[in-house]
Amino acid sequence: MTSSFSLYNLRVTVTEIRGRSVCGMKVGDWFELRNSAQLILPEGRHFCIYALGAVLPLLAAKQRELDENDWLASDSTVVCPDPDEGLVMRIERLEKVELVKNELT
């Protein structure tokens, strides 16, 4: 018996930098989370590990179906913890993918 489930692929995009770009990122930089755990970056680009650390705890929840009254269903903005930078990121859902549990665990 094959057990499958659905998750959303996600894109995290830098939408604003309120201070100075200490880590060399710019508005429009992004990464995607695909197929549960695959981190995809555009070729030749980077993503600051501290900005990634700020958004990482929310990604597993944003991949799943959420009740419309759950705050995570409507909130999708995260700010990097570096006070000099003020890097703002938006989490958006992309397509939903079907995954097989036995292939992931």
Q: Tell me the pTM.
A: 0.91
The pLDDT, as a whole number, for residue 73 is 85
For residue 89, CA distances in Å to 3, 30, 47, 53, 68 come to: 34, 9, 11, 12, 22
**For the chain, domain boundaries:** 4-104
pLDDT the model gives residue 105: 65
Arithmetic mean of pLDDT over the chain: 91
Residue-wise pLDDT tens digits, 76-96: 999 998 888 999 999 999 999
d(CA 12, CA 77): 9
**Residue 27: is its pLDDT beyond 80?**
yes
